[in-house]
Structure 1
Amino acid sequence: MPQEKVYRSELTPVSFLRRSAALFPEKTAVVHGERRYTYREFGERVDRLASRLRRELSRGDRVAFLCPNIPALLEAHFAVPLSGCVLVAINTRLSKGEVGYILEHSGARVVFYDADLEGLLAEAGGIERVRVEDTGGPEDPYEEYLSAGSPEPLQPVLEDEEETISINYTSGTTGRPKGVMYTHRGAYLCALGNVIEAGMGYDTRYLWTLPMFHCNGWTFPWAVTAAGGIHVCLRRVDPEKIWDLFDEEGITHYCGAPTVQIGIANHEKAHRLDKPVRTVVAGAPPSPTLIESLENINIQPLHVYGLTETYGPITACVRQDGWEDLTTEERARLVARQGQGYVTSEEVRVVDEKMNDVPRDGETMGEVVMRGNMVMKGYFRDEAATGEAFRGGWFHSGDVAVWHPDGYVEIRDRSKDVIISGGENISTIEVEQAVVSHPAVLECAVVAIPDERWGERPKAFVTLKKGREATQEEIIEHCRGRIARFKAPAKVEFVEELPKTSTGKVQKFVLREKEWTGREKLVN
């Protein structure tokens, strides 16, 4: 009697490429400047890389990539797991010390690195290195590495879909970065969730504005391939180049944090597109003002929410019937919420300290918790941190939110960012949205500053649109007309730019620490 289960195969996103290469062998799969690879060529390049890795490394070994959004990193998302190894895609904007720590902690056997990033390996130790010139020519060491592999289809060695497919390191703003482990099963289901929620199909032309190193590009390397779409690579975010590619390549989809979206919407080349482009927005809650500005140029935003520990997005703010009949501002306020779990996820909850659901009144705040297919396997080599994150059988996000009557959640803050003023909780996100609704404001970040009477008060750090002016008094008065007076900023500081992480998130701790210098605690 056969032992193999005819009705089951282990889920892995590597299978998406095998299918698309079989169905669309001559269809363009990858665009990178003047280079074009068909799905047949894409598949052969992946098999070459995978076969050589399997020949030289052992099953389960970690393989690191330190590259921007180029074909080599896209190929790694399929080749490394196909070889039986684990992918470690490293943030290209880290310091050399942080890169060295990640390589050491992950135990990576080899690192493939872009030529422009060689300096980041100064503290990488004696690890094997493969240089990527990103030319596509035979003189490129990466291409030489591929040439020693076989283009013949490689048979998978996956035995259990819960095996680790990749390790993604957190930003480490509160200590050493933690290695978040993804599984083949989770990556497969998250990718399909993205295909569904982002509305991708065989005509998808996806622009790589989101770093592939960030949560494995929110699993879009696998998702776009599952849809048989075209990957348009981009080494760095350049709004001018993005607008050129919108027009030249017929882009249908892209992803980006609000700061990326702001640069696109406000660029001098910005114009209303003939055909709608779908963008997936996450990383920080987009303001209604940003959502309105995107819609005005025919970019349709899908607001999603998640963390590194949830493969990137785990919820989507799906538009409901009747929303299109609302005013632009009313609709934008609804779309700016975080929504509910993906079709491949479970419903996320908002709970109090005893893990009880908070009332669905849109006012009572609690912590967002989640579980299921789209939650990480755990932290690599850190059982204590894994246990703490999974207490009570749910993953604890650390995000403070309210639960609305329609079931949608709305993030009000990170727990550490909530301002407690005179006993009242103030959401920095709510204040930021009020500030950026001023026509002269480009971006804003709000943090708590010490106040002798109230303990803490909000302060807004503001960048202005090119050629626009505003005063502190104007901004504060504008906010008082939109939110409760006690929530309005006590002070406004105009800056050239806000401190940000490599993925576009504002580093509020940098602003906060400056304001609390000389005090023992960052609370009052």
Structure 2
Amino acid sequence: MSETIPHLLRQAADRHGRREFLRFPGHLSLTFADADAAVDRLAGALAARGVRPGDRVAIMLDNVPGWPLTWLATLRAGGVAVPVNVRYRAADLRHVLRDSGAVATVTSAEHAPHVPGTVHLFDALDGDAPPPGVAVTPDDVANFQYTSGTTGFPKACLLTHDYWVRTARILAEAVRVRDDDVLMMAQAFSYMDPQWATLVCLVGGIPLVVLPRFSASGFWPAAREHGATLTYVLGTMPLLLHKQPPAPEDRANRMRLVLCSGIRPGLHREFEERWGAPWRELYGSTETGPDLLVPIDDTECVGTGAMGLPPPGKEVTLDEETGEILVRGVPMMKGYWNHPEATATAFRGGWYHTGDLGVRDARGQIAHAGRIKDMVRRGGENISCAEVESVLTQHPAVLQAALVPIPDELWGELPKAFLQLRPGHAADAATAMSVAEHARRRLARFKVPAYVEFVEGFSLTPSARIEKRHLLPPGRDQRAAPAIPVLPEESR
């Protein structure tokens, strides 16, 4: 396999021409040929504005057609894309732009005031300059893709054209793309998922429907409206969908496969029965692409938590019976930009160390068992944050939960829960005590949160996980109001 993303786009335009490629509800629809021509014009405009091969170009746009078109044009001009979350401000934004060395940022009038340095408004990127005749190779870096770590500033993964094309072909084969398929995505385009989805559609010649944002109440109506047959959900998305009131039209859709990551095993069969489609696990990371996939026909996986088998080119193992998940093979990032020590640590022993814990089931498949560092160390006891969060979200008042460690002189650390409530529930001491009692009936006493704090919502990582670093700003007393103590003093 020796392809690049610009080659994949040109090939799709030649093969599929007038077929629909990109559909942005409320904006426009583009055919493969339209997109290819638009990318040529944008690549010429970027080159005319000084973008040279190897230059980094930041993209800070909402889910609008300009996002994938700017991405593809940057690559056709020989540049390197730097996806930027539109919610970034001050520290986050400054870090990504400085660390990447981006020569310019393509954005909109709405976001431009927040962006330091050279700014190009997408709507003003016009002109008749031809696209530069740049020779791009599969080993060239296509993206500085910043990781979604829950602590500290993110690091840029160096992702090549080969990485992206391999990922797209692996996933296109896994979903068994058909001519009548419609792939729908609701994540922000700065995240990995809409980007690989774009390439899957180039490989398969099918349309990509891009929603403005994820909405639990609007997701399935949108799937019905657009005739979606394929989608991908992860992080908190499945649980938020499940918490929507059941409706008679739940099964009235064309969906034939939902790819997912980290769904709760106990709800797996219920998801399939409610919406009438198989849900199949996809496990991977920004650093490694797809690592494990459950085949569509593997009905024995339902409810087991099994994450499937490695695709061709990948090996996945555990460092012990219940241990860290290790990965090697292709696709794989080149490393972390400006972080040689972190790269060496991640790839020690020739394997990429994921930071995820896994356990093998009776069939020999790996199930996810939590994050190595997502723990609270209370005295001599280790508390899995994921385990406690799972219990907390089973309370009828709780929409989302995040458990974090806070320092304690006696115990070392204590668990504190941040809770987002469902509408109609009061953010008061009575609700906090009710949630704590709910946890106390289901967990060992040492796992029950010592403090509860209510929040309006959470900042999410690109993988739709709660970004916990924003919950613990330096200098704040995490025991003080609005925190509510929910355990007796002697137990805290």
Q: TM-score range by the shorter chain?
A: 0.7 to 0.9
Of residues 361, 383, 386, the one that matches 1:429 is 386
- Match of 2:160? 183
1:326-345 equivalences in 2 (<5 Å): 331-332=302-303, 334-335=304-305, 337-341=306-310, 343-345=311-313
> Does residue 148 of the first structure (1) align with residue 108 of the second (2)?
no
CA contact (8 A) 1:25 1:40 kept: yes
**Cα deviation, residue 18, structure 1:** 2.0
- Structure 2 CA distance for aligned equivalents of residues 273 and 454 of structure 1: 50
Pairs aligned (count): 470
Identical-pair percentage = 28
- Equivalent of 2:467 in 496, 503, 507: 507
Query: Structure 1 residues 448 and 102, CA, compared in 2 at 3 Å: closer, same or farther?
Result: closer
Displacement after TM superposition at 1:494 (Å): 6.3
Counterpart contact for 2:186–2:213, Cα < 8 Å: yes
Paired letter, 2:41: R
Q: CA 1:507–1:382 in structure 2 vs 1: closer, same or farther (change >3 Å)?
A: closer
Q: CA deviation at 1:457?
A: 5.4
Residue 387 of structure 1 and its aligned partner are, at CA, apart by 1.9
Which deviates further from its counterpart, 227-236 or 474-483? 474-483
Q: Give 1:373 deviation, angstroms.
A: 0.9
Q: Please, what TM-score do these two structures have when normalized by structure 1?
A: 0.78
Q: Match of 2:227?
A: 250
**One-letter amino acid matched to 1:180:** C
Aligned twin of 2:208: 231
| 2:486 matches 1:493 | no
- The letter for the 2-side match of 1:168 is Q
Change (3 A) 1:402 1:458: farther
In 2, Cα distance between the equivalents of 1:508 and 1:443?
13
Give the 3-state SS of the residue equivalent to 1:402 in structure 2: strand
Write the distance in 2 (CA, Å) between the matches of 1:322 and 1:240: 28
Shift of 1:482: 5.3
Distance 1:423 1:94 in 2: 38
Cα distance change of structure 1 residues 392 and 16 upon mapping to structure 2, 3 Å threshold: same
Answer yes or no: is the 8 Å Cα contact 2:151–2:469 preserved in 1. Answer: no
Closer/same/farther in 2, CA of residues 389 and 454 from structure 1, 3 Å limit:
same
Q: Once the two structures are superposed, what CA deviation does each residue of 1:452-497 show, in whole Å capped at 9, x if it has no partner?
A: 77655545444444446895566556556655x3565244736244
Provide the secondary structure at the position in 2 that maps to 1:286.
coil
Counterparts of 1:70-469 in structure 2 under 5 Å?
70-121=64-115, 124-125=116-117, 127=118, 129-132=119-122, 140-142=123-125, 145=126, 147-150=127-130, 157-158=135-136, 160-171=137-148, 174-215=151-192, 217=194, 219-267=196-244, 271-277=249-255, 278-282=257-261, 285-288=262-265, 291=268, 294-295=271-272, 296-298=274-276, 300-311=278-289, 313-318=290-295, 321=298, 323=300, 331-332=302-303, 334-335=304-305, 337-341=306-310, 343-351=311-319, 358-359=320-321, 364=322, 366-421=323-378, 423-448=380-405, 456=413, 458-467=415-424
Deviation, structure 1 residue 190: 0.8
**CA deviations over 1:24-81 (Å, ceiling 9, x no partner):** 2111111122522111111111122223434543221112211122211112332222
Correspondence for 1:37: 30
Shift of residue 182, structure 1, vs aligned partner: 0.3
Greater CA deviation, 235-244 or 452-461?
Answer: 452-461
Cα-to-partner distance string for 1:140-191 (whole Å, 9 max, x where unaligned): 313xx2x42448xx86612x42111111123465444322100111111111
State the distance in 2 between where 1:466 and 1:170 align. 32
Match of 2:283, SS state, is strand
Relative to 1, partners in 2 of residues 1:411 and 1:455: Cα closer, same or farther, differing over 3 Å?
farther
1:4 aligned residue: none
> How big is each residue's C-alpha offset from its partner over 1:383-402, in whole Å with a ceiling of 9 and x where there is no partner?
23222222222222222333
**1-structure distance, mates of 2:377, 2:296:** 33
Contact in 1 for aligned 2:47/2:77 (Cα 8 Å) = yes
Find out whether 1:58 has 2:35 as its counterpart.
Answer: no
Cα distance between partner residues in 1 of 2:298 and 2:154: 42
SS at match of 2:18: coil
Offset of residue 317 of structure 1: 4.2
Distance 1:17 1:290, change over 3 A: farther
RMSD (Å), alpha carbons: 3.3
